[in-house]
């Protein structure tokens, strides 16, 4: 567990803390120049050393230390963090973007985490070019928009990181980078203190090296956390039809191998055709996203339109053409879709859906941050989802399995993910 590891590292005397920070700096100096996961910061390690000393004196007795004591955390640069500037990879004036610290960040600090720094995001958490590279192959993207958070955890630069997902910005980069990425039920992790993109679709998510660490962090960030000790193996649903067909032939072939492996391990798999209207689901998502983004940025765009990228301008202009009645109709249809997808678990006696986390492995960086279509419906429905690493292709690029739980079943999903992770480790 994170806490056990870090209590041993961040021990009781100053020389040990010095060594802890020195090791983090050595790793950073070796890897960060090529990966570029973090927003540049002057005197990062002087600040971090001071923070670690203060944390030690606040909790001198190991037995009384909080659960994330000494964990180094990366924070996506659309979260507000006290003492840090929020720029969100945009060219808007700095003073226009600042705000009070995100509740999720405050919770991590109260649990003993140390803020390692801000991680790189695409412009305002939408699609745009990024400097960050995939640690498994520097020619490939880590995914987006939580690019730096996924890459930082994958490279071992920090122990965990926060990101956001509006379409697929946690699950997809976690898959591309070979780490665990968890997106909770909509709004179970507070969105306060974050620059929004589409408030009806935005989720806060977690990147971690393994499922048990993700579960530990989620229990800190989710206020009404309930411990789950389910003993039986869950029944896994395979969502056949137009949605699943969106994955590449290679991803589907790998998914078939995973399904066979899980079946041999004693899991009951059930194929169910769902989302016959998948194109409508996608169209509705983009209506909501563009319309809400235009409304979020209305005042900024009136003042600073020339400071946005062409891609973001296109998003806003598309959203400006969507009337309030059309947006409300899309939101109502989204609510109906959410209820429908929640019912599918009960109608077919399914505990979790399983499917590819992305349409393929990470594309090369000039080709963008990857297609989020495999994540889109679960985000729209607000259902909890997790990426579990599921082997690599012949060139060493990771693949992932996306596991989706029912509404407010985050605890069950994270509990069940541990056994699935163990089985997938054999790939």
Segment (H or E) for 239: strand 235-240
Residue positions annotated with a catalytic role: 76, 145, 169
Provide the 10 A C-beta neighbour count for residue 47.
17
Nearest C-alpha neighbor of 239 from the set 203, 276, 202, 265:
276
DSSP letters for 74-108: EEETTB--TTS---TT--S-HHHH--SPPHHHHHH
Provide the 10 A C-beta neighbour count for residue 66.
18
- Sheet strand arrangement including 268-273: 114-119, 72-76, 160-165, 203-208, 180-183, 385-392, 398-404, 352-356, 235-240, 268-273
- Strand-strand pairing, 180-183 and 385-392: antiparallel
Confirm if 398 and 175 have CB atoms less than 8 A apart: yes
| Backbone φ, ψ for residue 118 (5° rounding) | -85, 135
What CA–CA distance (Å, rounded) separates 344 from 379?
16
What are residue 364's DSSP bridge partners? 140
Confirm if 387 and 375 have CB atoms less than 8 A apart: no
Give the angle subtended at the CA of 337 by the CAs of 334 and 343, to the nearest 5°. 145
Sign of CA dihedral 319, 322, 325, 327: negative
Confirm if 284 and 380 have CB atoms less than 8 A apart: yes
């Amino acid at each position: 567990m994170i806490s056990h590891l870090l209590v041993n590292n961040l021990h009781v005397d100053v020389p040990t803390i010095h060594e802890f920070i020195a090791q983090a700096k050595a790793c950073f100096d070796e890897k960060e120049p090529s990966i570029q996961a973090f927003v540049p910061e002057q005197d990062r390690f002087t600040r971090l050393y001071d923070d670690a000393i203060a944390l030690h004196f606040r909790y001198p007795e190991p037995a009384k230390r909080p659960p994330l004591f000494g964990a180094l955390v990366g924070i996506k640069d659309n979260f507000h963090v006290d003492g840090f500037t929020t720029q969100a990879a945009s060219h808007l004036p700095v003073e226009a973007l600042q705000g009070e610290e995100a509740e999720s960040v405050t919770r991590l600090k109260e649990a003993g985490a140390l803020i390692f720094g801000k991680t790189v995001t695409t412009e305002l958490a939408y699609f745009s070019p990024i400097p960050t590279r995939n640690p498994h192959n520097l020619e490939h993207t880590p995914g987006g928009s939580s690019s730096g958070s996924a890459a930082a955890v994958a490279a071992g630069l920090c122990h965990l990181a926060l990101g956001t997902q509006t379409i697929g910005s946690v699950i997809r980069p976690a898959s591309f980078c070979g780490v665990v990425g968890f997106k909770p039920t909509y709004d179970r992790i507070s969105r306060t203190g974050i620059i929004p993109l589409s408030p009806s679709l935005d989720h806060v998510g977690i990147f971690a090296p393994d499922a048990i660490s993700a579960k530990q962090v989620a229990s800190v960030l989710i206020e009404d956390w309930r411990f789950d000790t389910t003993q039986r193996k869950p029944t896994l649903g395979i969502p056949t039809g137009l949605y699943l067909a969106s994955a590449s032939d290679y991803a589907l072939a790998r998914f078939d191998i995973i399904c066979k492996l899980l079946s041999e391990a004693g899991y009951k798999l059930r194929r169910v055709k769902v989302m016959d209207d998948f194109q409508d689901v996608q169209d509705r998502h983009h209506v909501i996203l563009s319309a809400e983004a235009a409304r979020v940025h209305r005042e900024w765009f009136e003042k600073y339109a020339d400071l946005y990228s062409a891609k973001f301008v296109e998003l806003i202009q598309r959203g400006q053409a969507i009337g309030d009645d059309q947006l409300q109709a899309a939101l109502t249809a989204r609510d109906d879709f959410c209820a429908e997808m929640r019912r599918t678990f009960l109608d077919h006696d399914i505990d979790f859906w399983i499917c590819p986390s992305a349409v393929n492995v990470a594309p090369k960086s000039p080709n963008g941050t990857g297609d989020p279509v495999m994540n889109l419906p679960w985000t729209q429905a607000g259902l909890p989802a997790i990426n579990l690493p599921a082997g690599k292709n012949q060139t060493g690029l990771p693949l992932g399995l996306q596991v989706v739980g029912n509404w407010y079943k985050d605890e069950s999903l994270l509990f069940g993910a541990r056994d699935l992770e163990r089985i997938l480790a054999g790939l």
